[in-house]
Amino acid sequence: MKIYEANGNRFILGSEEIDVVKMCEEYRCDGYLKIFSHRMSIFNADGSEALLCVNGLHCFAHYLYDENEKYDVFALVVQNEIYKCEIIQKEPFISVVSVKIPVIYRNFVDVGNEHMILLDENIENAAQLCKRFDCNISYVRIISQSCIEVKTYERGVGFTLSCGSGNIASSYYCYVNGLCDAQVNILNEGGVCFIEIKDHVEMKAMSRFVQEI
């Protein structure tokens, strides 16, 4: 098994049956990505299964490349949905994940998993909101038309240094409401990524191999 990190999100990747809670706690990881060929199942740090993890897709492509699958474009499967991941640079390792245009209802955005988007609000009630609405909670601060800051409380994990689907949900919500451009930099505690909204949404981020376990 190996650990990879993308934009501050750390994951264990492998094909084994493991005690997810114990291993994530021991290695300070946000989840376990269980791999079978080009398909992965996503388990949060509390052992619950997630529907999507975009930073995990960046790590998955990096993992496959390091496993001698030397392709520039991968078709990766999560929950029977296919996601395109294109490697655009090897050192440092940078890839672009493409997702379908999200669905918005009020301030809820469905990227494949659901996020409540809150602008300039206090983060103290994150756990209660997550439990009440059974979704991830993304807090957004608008810096400019080309830059926003996002902090996400994820179901089964809590606050993380980054959440890829939260970044996509937040940027798309802000774009639809005229708060940011179609090309926008996202600031997370774990780093910076770039979102571009077309007839789909692309997220560009850097990933790195951390260690073998």
* Residues 66-120: tens digit of each pLDDT: 998 888 999 999 999 999 999 999 999 999 999 999 999 999 999 999 999 999 8
* The CATH number of domain 2-97+204-212, selected from 2.40.30.10, 3.40.50.2300, 3.10.310.10, 3.40.50.740: 3.10.310.10
Q: What is the mean pLDDT of residues 12-22?
A: 97
Q: Which two tokens stand for residue 38?
A: 């080009």
Provide CATH code, domain 103-198. Answer: 3.10.310.10
Rounded percentage of the chain residues whose pLDDT exceeds 70? 100
Closest among 176, 179, 169 to 201, alpha carbons compared: 169
Range(s) of the chain covered by CATH 3.10.310.10: 2-97+204-212, 103-198
| CA angle (101 as vertex; 58, 31 as ends), nearest 5 | 35
C-beta of residue 209 within 8 angstroms of C-beta of residue 64: no
Q: What is the mean pLDDT of residues 170-191?
A: 97
Instruction: For residue 39, give Cα distances in angstroms to 33, 166, 201, 202, 209.
Output: 10, 22, 21, 20, 19
